[in-house]
Structure 1
Amino acid sequence: RKRQYLNLDINQLLADEGIDSNQLIPRHPDMENLPTIEKNAGAPLPVYLPLEVFDDEEFDCRIPKEWIGLGYEPGSCDRKPVPAKALLPVNDILGHEDPKSRNLTYQWCSVGVLDYDQQKKIYLVHKADVYGHVRDAEGNQILNGGVTAAG
Structure 2
Amino acid sequence: MLGSLDCTQWEWEACPVAWQGQYHWSDHDGPIVILEAAASFDIWIWHAVFGMPGANNDVAVINVSPIFDRLTDGVSPDTSFSTNDGNYEYGYYLVDGIYPEWATLVLSFTCPTGEKRPYFKKKHELARKDIERAFGVLKKRWSIIRKPARFQQID
TM-score over 0.5 for the alignment? Answer: no
TM-score (norm 2): 0.21
Which structure has the bigger radius of gyration? 1
Answer 1 or 2: which has greater strand percent. Answer: 2
Bigger RCO of structures 1 and 2 (CA < 8 A, at least 6 apart):
2
TM-score with structure 1 setting the length = 0.22
